A and B are shown apart, each in its own frame.
Chain A
Amino acid sequence: MQTVIDAHNVSKVYNPKTIPVYAVNNVHLHLQRGEFTALVGPSGSGKTTLLNLIGGLDKPDNGSIIINGVDITGLSANELIDFRLRNIGFVFQSFNLIPVLTAKENVEFIMQLQKTRRQERENRIKSLFRQIELEDKINVRPSQLSGGQQQRVAVARALASRPQFVLADEPTANLDSKSAANLLDIMTKLNKEENITFLFSTHDQRVIERARRVITLVDGQIANDTARVSTLHEVAGQAG
């Protein structure tokens, strides 16, 4: 198995000079290709901060984060932007599509930043929209899509750049049950069929049920790290 994320002794402190708050405290985390992992924990436990650190959106005060062999803590701001573009897919909590672009253009935007050739872009867009089952909404603006549909487009956008892994920060938080289930079905399918690595930060039981590995964060530290052979969702399906 190939290690995709290798975080050593990672800490992030807010207000270090006044009242230090350890948002992430001495975390060690290793993620292999193809994992479908949920990062859980109460509010303020440091889930989003850890996700931001792994995603290169923020810099740790201590430790190293090696992604695909590159220590991203040593990269400059511009290098990080380029690294994110080529290695990391993001799905944010609130849909975060560019409102002036159509669904297709939102996905294409990333590939254009990567300078992907037109024909390749077209093929990839076609394939991604088939996978997220939104082929009929390809030319629609985000405002004309439901929350679930927007989040599916965000998943397609995250995958458009063929990243090493996808970071999803509470992706189902604003979705109704049906939309959340639909989105999770798509992500599970992508994980199984294309071996895409997903790391979620979530409170949502529906996401936790589908995760093969659940890491629990408490006060910025890993309190529990459980790997499962079968997900709870699969178990429930077999039982049903």
Chain B
Amino acid sequence: MSEAAASSNHEVDLGHLMAYDPSHHLAAAPSSRAELRDECLRKATELAQAVADALFSLPATEGRDGPVVRLPPPANRLPREKHLPRPAPPTKWEAFAKQKGIVNRKKNKRTWDEQTNSWKRNYGYDRVNDDRDIPIIEAKMTDEPGVDPFAKRREEKKGRVDKQEKNRLGNLKNAAKVGALPSHIQLAATAIPITGTKADLPRKSKKEDLENVAGMASSATASGGKFDKKLPGEKPLKKAGKHRKFLPVAEGKGMGNLEKQQNDKILNSLLAKNFEEPLDVSKAITMYKVKKDNNRRKDKKSSSGSDKLKPGKKIHKKSSKKST
């Protein structure tokens, strides 16, 4: 509420107890500091009086220690400190209950327990119909032998509690999505980000990291660092990385065949994906026959003793041993 006072045009904002005089000119640059101060004080007194005029003419009620007035809302609006509270989205149950028209009814907190002839709580410690109060469970015909019914009951209860906790987390996550998480709850993943911070800010490298890098560098030679001179104090590489094993390229049986098999497998899987033609049975049969023939011929050749031609002798020996 701003009121223009009659005498001079200053604005009064009673909500902030503020007066502003936009028309005042200082008398041609006051020569000294003291003069300026006096001028300001004179004008300020005038403005303070204007605020007081408006303030003390408001209807006052007698408070405990002095008269109390009700201030009008401020005219100069200032920004909020935080956003307006957002309404939480309905939980799964609330949504379901609304759809089904289920209304909450007030229930007694205590119920008459006929077993003990006393009032007991509905929930919590010492509650009515507590499973734990039953010391004996009668066996039934359907019971499986070897199952502890008490343990089973405990398990079931734990399962229900866990399920509820999971549901709660889900509801909270939904609330967090619209920014309506209750302020005292924090999901570990939802700390408020701060402008300018990066999630993957480079952290300071530790001693271990440096050692690892040094180890990796030292082993980056043809011999895997085997013949390199170690510096004094340099430790052997702790985590030796996995080394790829290459299969022999030369054809043969056993190990010698593995490389081809591997590539065949990859090729087949690739071809199978793009295979669109329907299966031609007759063609397949001929292919099968040819393959069989080839295999037989190959077998014959190997048995006839063409060992000298094959380069991977060691491997061959092994495989031949296996075959026998």
The reply to whether chain A is a binding partner of chain B is no
Interface residues, chain A, CB within 8 Å of chain B? none
Interface residues, chain B, CB within 8 Å of chain A? none
